Amino acid sequence: MAARAVPASANKGAAKIQGDRTLPSRREILACTAAALAAAALPARAGAAAPSLREIGSARGIEVGSAFSGSGSPEYLEILRTHCDVITPEWQIKPHFLKPDRFGPYRFAEADAIRDFCRENGQKLHGHALFWHADAIRWAESGNFSTVKRLYGGFLRDVVAHYADVPSWDVVNEIVEEQTPLRDDFLLSRFGHDFVDFCFRTVHEAAPEARLVVNDYNLSCGESWCDAKRANMLRLLESLLKRGTPVHAVGMQCHLSSRYETSPRAAAEFVRQVADLGLDIYISELDLNDVDFADDVATRDRQVADHYEEFLSAMLANKAVRRVCFWGISDSANWIARGHGEADRKPDPRPVLFDANDEPKPAFDAVRRALEAAPAR
Q: How far apart are CA 87 and CA 105, in angstroms?
A: 25
Contact yes or no for 191/238 (Cβ under 8 A): no
Does the pLDDT of residue 86 top 50, yes or no? yes
Q: How far is CA 146 from CA 95, 133, 135, 189, in A?
A: 20, 20, 22, 16
Kindly state whether residue 158 falls inside one of the protein's structural domains.
Answer: yes
Q: Give residues with Cβ within 8 angstroms of 311, minimum separation 6.
A: 220, 254, 256, 262, 264, 267
Each residue of 197-209: pLDDT tens digit?
A: 999 999 999 999 9
Kindly state whether residue 8 falls inside one of the protein's structural domains.
Answer: no
Q: How far apart are CA 210 and CA 333, in angstroms?
A: 28
pLDDT category, 342, cuts 50, 70, 90?
low
Q: Give pTM, 2 decimals.
A: 0.87
Each residue of 276-311: pLDDT tens digit?
A: 999 999 999 999 999 999 999 999 999 999 999 999
Q: What one-character-per-residue DSSP string does 205-256 give? A: HH-TTSEEEEEESSSSB-SHHHHHHHHHHHHHHHHHHHHT----EEEE--EE
Kindly state whether residue 19 falls inside one of the protein's structural domains.
Answer: no
Kindly state whether residue 324 falls inside one of the protein's structural domains.
Answer: yes
Residues of the chain above pLDDT 90, percent: 82
Each residue of 18-60: pLDDT tens digit?
A: 333 334 444 444 444 444 444 443 333 433 546 999 999 999 9
Each residue of 110-136: pLDDT tens digit?
A: 999 999 999 999 999 999 999 999 999
Kindly state whether residue 128 falls inside one of the protein's structural domains.
Answer: yes
For residue 345, what pLDDT is reported? 84
Contact yes or no for 191/175 (Cβ under 8 A): no
Q: Smallest Cα–Cα separation from 39: which of 69, 70, 77?
A: 77
For residue 341, what pLDDT is reported? 57
Q: What one-character-per-residue DSSP string does 340-355 give? A: -S-S---SS---SSB-
For residue 8, what pLDDT is reported? 41
Q: How far apart are CA 336 and CA 170, in angstroms?
A: 22
Half-sphere exposure of 256 (CA within 13 A, CB side): 26
Kindly state whether residue 9 falls inside one of the protein's structural domains.
Answer: no
Q: How far apart are CA 212 and CA 370, in angstroms?
A: 26
For residue 261, what pLDDT is reported? 86
Q: How far apart are CA 54 and CA 67, in angstroms?
A: 15
Each residue of 137-194: pLDDT tens digit?
A: 999 999 999 999 999 999 999 999 999 999 999 999 999 999 889 999 999 999 999 9
Average pLDDT (316-324) is 98
- Which of 258-262, 271-275, 286-290, 359-363 is predicted with the least confidence, judged by mean pLDDT? 258-262
Q: How far apart are CA 327 and CA 319, in angstroms?
A: 22
- Radius of gyration of the chain measured on its C-alpha atoms: 19
Kindly state whether residue 41 falls inside one of the protein's structural domains.
Answer: no
H/E element, 166: none
Each residue of 211-260: pLDDT tens digit?
A: 999 999 999 998 899 999 999 999 999 999 999 999 999 999 999 999 98
For residue 344, what pLDDT is reported? 84
The amino acid present at 277, given as its one-letter code, is: L
Q: Of all residues in the chain, what percent are helix, strand and coil, respectively (each to 5)? A: 45, 15, 40
Contact yes or no for 133/188 (Cβ under 8 A): yes
Q: Could you tell me the residue range of the domain that residue 70 belongs to? A: 52-373
For residue 82, what pLDDT is reported? 98
More confident residue, 321 or 261: 321
Q: What is the CATH number of the domain that holds 238?
A: 3.20.20.80
Kindly state whether residue 244 falls inside one of the protein's structural domains.
Answer: yes
Q: How far apart are CA 199 and CA 201, in angstroms?
A: 6
Q: Would you call 58 helix, strand, or coil by DSSP?
A: helix
Q: How many domains in the chain?
A: 1
Q: Smallest Cα–Cα separation from 127: which of 244, 211, 242, 220?
A: 211
